[in-house]
Amino acid sequence: MAKIGLFFGSFNPIHIGHLTIAGYMTEFTQLEQVWFVVSPHNPLKKKESLLEDHQRLYMAQLAIGDNDHLKASDIEFKLPVPSYTIDTLAYLEEKFPLHKFLLVMGEDNLYTLHKWKNVEELIANHQIIVYPRPYTPRPESALLDQILLKAKIQWAKAPLMDISGTFIRSGIKKGKNMSYYLSPPVWKYIEEMHFYEK
């Protein structure tokens, strides 16, 4: 079975931090591929700052280029909104029975697991590969502690990436050159489309 890492996110926009993490996962863990699962709407995030789904997917495709180890997935566009990871996993397992799906997430997302839908089922059936995030205190929560004790977690020694979509969007809005944080085709597309300028 091919081991596929699912890297969920709004990718608004996809940046070099995302690519660095995904590249680390395919080179230094058991994962054969990482799929960027572009989420139409994260239930835990506000929606108004999101670009259209197809635009964020297209930027992910531009960033990946011809890299066979990475893939941009629109699977959640076909599912009810808001999207929940447990439902996406069930759909993918039915659609790709020869793949084994693992979750790739940042340390900050790991500490929100107690808020996830059907998290007990999720951690019982899926391994989680976690990459470190700077300035990530673990919240005090007995429920989270129980979940983390049961979960199959693999910590990856990936580089610390302190780059965020919020930082990039804010910089563009201020007229800054943010090309250093994005792959060249993505930056070119953002400039052509005048994304995040207002």
Domain boundaries, the chain: 2-163
pLDDT tens readout for residues 167-185 = 999 999 999 999 999 999 9
Answer whether residue 43 shows pLDDT above 70: no
What are the contacts of 192-196 at 24+ separation with CB within 8 A?
193/55, 195/13, 195/51, 195/55, 196/13, 196/168, 196/169, 196/172
* Alpha-carbon torsion (125, 93, 133, 81), positive or negative: negative
Does 153 or 80 have the greater pLDDT score?
A: 153
Short-list 42, 52, 24, 11, CA closest to 182:
11
pLDDT at 190: 98
Say what the pLDDT of residue 47 is: 62
pTM of the model: 0.94
Residue 105, H or E segment:
strand 99-106
Nearest to 165 by CA among 157, 153, 173, 154: 173
CATH architecture observed for domain 2-163: 3-Layer(aba) Sandwich (3.40)
Place of tokens 């108004």: 48
Give the pLDDT confidence of 99-133 residue by residue, as tens digits.
999 999 999 999 999 999 999 999 999 999 999 99
How far, in Å, CA of 66 to CA of 63, rounded? 9
d(CA 126, CA 102): 6
